[in-house]
Structure 1
Amino acid sequence: MRAPTDDELITAWGLLHEALRDTEPLLLRGIDPCGKDMSGPWFEVLIRLQRSPEHRLPMSRLAREVSLSSGGFTKLADRLEHRGYLRREHCPEDRRVTYAALTDDGIALAEQARAKHVALLREHVLAPLGDDGLRAFADAARLLRDEARASADAERGAAAR
């Protein structure tokens, strides 16, 4: 089997971007916290917290995981807190750490949104890919993510020396 050409590589990467861009809005349809469709970051924060122990994570980690700047995440956390879905908790062992934690209303909203999201994932991701395709996609995505993180860590380590 021959190696992919440069054009095939560029096309494959472009298709991945297009697939994610075009599929993401379909996966957020009908997931609405306040009568309008939820933006990706709101949903991502709720789901990550819902799936975390004690429904909380350090705010800095959560901001990084949802790809927001610290200022952008602070604004989002303020809105979630104002609507009663999130509260901030200070870490007793390290005053530099503040946790974002779901309230009972936040947990209920996250569970409702998750159920709808899973139905949409089944329709728009699992149905076209099939079981084996989904597993292969997840394996490939995990590999790319882990390699990118390892490269970034190595670059940070080299810069620190």
Structure 2
Amino acid sequence: MSTQTEAAAGRDVGDDELITAWGLFHEALHNTGELLLRDVDPSGGDMSGPWFEVLIRLQRSPGNRQPMSKLAKEVCLSSGGFTKLADRLERKGYLARRSCPSDRRVVYAELTEAGRELADEARARHVALLREHVLGPLGPDGLRRLAELARTLRDTSLAT
């Protein structure tokens, strides 16, 4: 569909319908997000969303590490907010900071062995919750469509 066609089609959507759709998405994301963090911490503690997100992103990154500035942006935290979170993860022994040998301005956040173990356990619990609370209601086709729509919104927001 061309941009002009999409714009014309968008005029067929009323303000209330647009507000309702966005509100439903926001509520679904908030409510489902809470379900997906429930019991995800294998230690029985309260693993906040950003904490879990950092562990999973590092687990899925090459070498289990990423530049701290990139990671902060990906988990939607300010530089200061991410530094505080990294401090807590480091104190717990889950994360280490590593300097970049080729660029002194870059500092990497890297999972420790304890961090990898925690991330592995939390990921297994998270996948089970995703299967129950996301894949279950949506089915495989709905999940793929959700990913496609989310990617479109993300990519469009990054382009502006």
User: For 1:77, what is the secondary structure of its paired residue?
Assistant: helix
How far did 1:128 drift?
0.5
Name the structure 1 match of 2:60: 51
Residue 156 of structure 1 aligns with which residue? Answer: none
| Deviation per residue, 1:9-58 (Å, 9 max, x gap) | 11101100000111111001112265312100100000000000000000
The corresponding residue for 2:4 is none
- Runs of 5+ in structure 1 lacking a partner? 152-161
Q: Give the whole-Å Cα distance in 1 for the aligned partners of 2:40 and 2:150.
A: 25
Structure 2 residue aligned with 1:128: 137
- Partner letter of residue 46 of structure 2? D
RMSD: 1.3
The equivalent residue for 2:71 is: 62
Cα offsets for 1:76-115 (capped at 9, x unmatched): 1011011110000000000000000000110010010000
Cα distance in 1 for residues equivalent to 2:34 and 2:129: 10
- Once the two structures are TM-superposed, the CA of residue 132 in structure 1 deviates from its matched residue by 0.6
Matched, 1:149 2:158: yes
2:42–2:121 CA contact under 8 A, matched in 1: no
Aligned AA for 1:126? Answer: L
- The alpha-carbon deviation at position 139 of structure 1 amounts to 0.2
Query: Which amino acid letter does the alignment assign opposite residue 90 of structure 1?
Result: S
In the alignment, structure 1 residue 5 sits paired with structure 2 residue 14: yes
Matched, 1:22 2:31: yes
Gaps of 5+ in 2: 1-8
- 1:84 and 2:93 are equivalent in the alignment: yes
- Identical-residue share of aligned pairs (%): 70
Which AA in structure 2 matches 1:99? Answer: Y
